[in-house]
Amino acid sequence: MVTENPNNVTRLRVFNESAALNKSSFKKYKPKPKDYYIRDKKLEGFYIRVYPSGKKTYGIYSRRGGVGRKVSISIGNCDYIEFEDAKNSAKDWLYLLRQGIHPKEKIKAESLKDKTLLDLVKEFVELRDMELKSFTKQDYIRRIELQMPTLCNKRIIEITKDDVVDWYKNSKKNRSTVLAMGYAKKVLDIAVADKYLDENIFIQAKIKIGKLPPIRKKETHISQTQLYNFVGSFFQVAPKISVTMRDFIFFLFITGKRLTESAELTWDNVNYQNGTITLLKTKTGKIDVIPMTPYLYLLLKYREGLKHKKIMSLNKHPVYVFANSLGNGPLKDPRKALKKINEEAKLGFEITPHDLRRTFGTATKEVNLSHEDTAVLLNHAKADVTENYIMRSLDYKRNNLEKVQQYLDSYSGLGIGQMAVQWYNGDPNMTADPIVMDVLTDKEPDFKKYINS
C-alpha cells in the first residue's frame, strides 16, 4: 500500500489493529516511536493514523479504479474535523477512488467553478514568485485586466470559445491584444495540466481566429513638436487627478524610468545629502542610482511634506514615495490619468507609461548624448555598456540628466519649470535661465536655493 499526494508517493505501513471507529476513538490512542494505523471495521478503507508527535488524522485507502496498488489519502486532523464529517467524506472519496477519480482532483475541479480568469492569472504569478520578475507578474495581471474587461471577471467555466472570438473581434488587435491572448493561453495551459479544465478555450479560439498580428516593437512617443501640447494638457488636467498620481507622472516624465520600478521607490532610498534616488528592484537586476536635480529635489521635498511656509504639508507615507490611495502599497497604474491628459492633448495615440520612457529616450538623442550615456540614464541591460562606464561620476550622470530635463522644459515652453514653481514651490527665477546644478566637492548638493523662500 502507498500514500499518494500531489507531489510524492510514500509507502503506507501495515495496520496495527482494527476497531469499530467512533467520534471518541482517536482520543484513546497514544503516540508511539513510529506512526501506526487503526482500521475501521465498519467502513472498509477508513482509518485513523497516529504520529509519534501525537498528531492524529483520518484517512482512506483503496485501489484507484479497483486495480493496482492501494493509495492512501489524508482527510484531516482528528482534533479539527468532526468524526461524522470525516466518515461522510471517506464514503464519498472511496466511491470516487474506486471509480478511478482521485478525490483531490475532483475537489480542484469543483473549486474552479467560482474562479474567474483573473483569479487564475493571479494564482499563476503567485506560484511563479521566484521565476518571474516583479514587473512581469504585474504585467500579466494589468494586461489581462485592461485588455480583457469582458472576460477577466467572468467565471472560467462560463467562458466559451465564441466569447473569446467575440472579444478578439471587438479588440484593437494591437500588440497589447496579442500579448494578453498569449498570457491567457499560458495560464489556461496550466489549468488544463492541473485538470481544472478539459481544454484550453484560448487555443480553440485561436484556431477559429487564425493568424494573429505580429508583436511589433512599439515606437510611440511624444515628439518634440507635441511636447508643448502635452505639458500644457497635463497642467490643465492635474486638478482632476490625485496629487500623488500627478507627481508620479511628473517623475516618470522627467526621469524616463519604468513604471513598476518607480512605483516601488521608498523613502529609505532617497538621500538628500548625497543627492541620489536609488531604485533597487529593476528589470535589468542592476541597482539604478538617479542623480537628484532641482526638479526632483522640489518634487520629493514637497511629497515629504517639508515644513516650509509656502509648501503645503502632505501626509507622507511611511514607506512609499508614491503610495496608493489606500496607503497599503505603491501606486499601480497611471493609465486612467494619462487617458485624461490624452483626451485634452489629442496626440493621436493613447499615452502609456512606457511612451513617457520612449519620449525621454528620444530626448537624449536630441541633446546629442552618446548611445552609452543614454543606456546609463535608462539603466538598459546593454552588453556593450561596461560596468566601468556605468560607474562613472555621479556629477557626469547628473549633468546628462539635466540636459534632458532642460530640453523637455525648453520645448514645452518652460512648462516643466512652471510646474515646479506652481506645484512644488520652486523659485520663479529657476525658469528664467537654464538650470545649472551647483555641486560642491564634498558638501551636500545645494538644491535649497531653488526653493521659493
Whether residue 79 is found in the same domain as residue 191: no
**Contact between 261 and 281 (Cβ < 8 Å):** yes
pLDDT band at 447 (very low <50, low <70, confident <90, very high): low
CATH code, domain with 433: 1.10.443.10
The structure's pTM equals 0.58
Residue 451 has pLDDT above 80, yes or no: no
Residue 90 lies in a domain: yes
Residue 127 has which C-alpha cell? 506560484
For residue range 260-313, what is the model confidence (pLDDT) as tens digits?
889 999 999 999 888 899 998 777 778 889 999 999 999 998 998 743 333 344
Q: Is 50 exceeded by the pLDDT of residue 93?
A: yes
Interval 33-45 mean pLDDT: 93
Least confident of 84-93, 187-196, 299-308: 299-308
In a domain, 183, yes or no: yes
What CA dihedral angle connects 375, 378, 382 and 384, to 10 degrees? 20
Average pLDDT estimate for 440-447 = 44
Report how many domains make up the chain: 3
State which of 106, 139, 169 marks the end of a domain.
106
Domain range for 78 is: 2-106
Q: Same domain for 30 and 159?
A: no
Residues 318 and 376 in one domain: yes
The stretch 347-361 carries a mean pLDDT of 92
From 36, 71, 106, give the residue that closes a domain. 106
**Which range among 21-35, 251-265, 276-290 shows the weakest confidence by mean pLDDT?**
276-290
Question: Do 368 and 419 have their domain in common?
Answer: yes
What DSSP string runs through 91-119? HHHHHHHHTT--HHHHHHHHHGGG-BHHH
Residues 31 and 132 placed together within one structural domain of the fold: no
Q: Indicate whether 144 and 238 sit together in one domain.
A: no
Q: Per the domain annotation, does 215 fall within a domain?
A: no
Residue 75 resides in a domain: yes
pLDDT of residue 176: 87
> Is 219 domain-assigned?
no
Share of the chain above pLDDT 70, in %: 84
Neighbouring CB atoms inside 10 A of 408's CB total 26
Strands lying side by side in the sheet with 270-271: 270-271, 276-279, 288-291
> Which CATH number does the domain housing residue 32 bear?
3.30.160.390
pLDDT at 435: 37
pLDDT at 109: 66
Q: What is the pLDDT of residues 107-152, one digit of tens each?
A: 766 666 788 999 999 989 888 877 777 768 888 998 999 899 999 9
Q: Are residues 311 and 346 in the same domain?
A: yes
Q: Which amino acid is at 21?
A: L
Other C-beta atoms lying within 10 Å of the C-beta of residue 427:
18
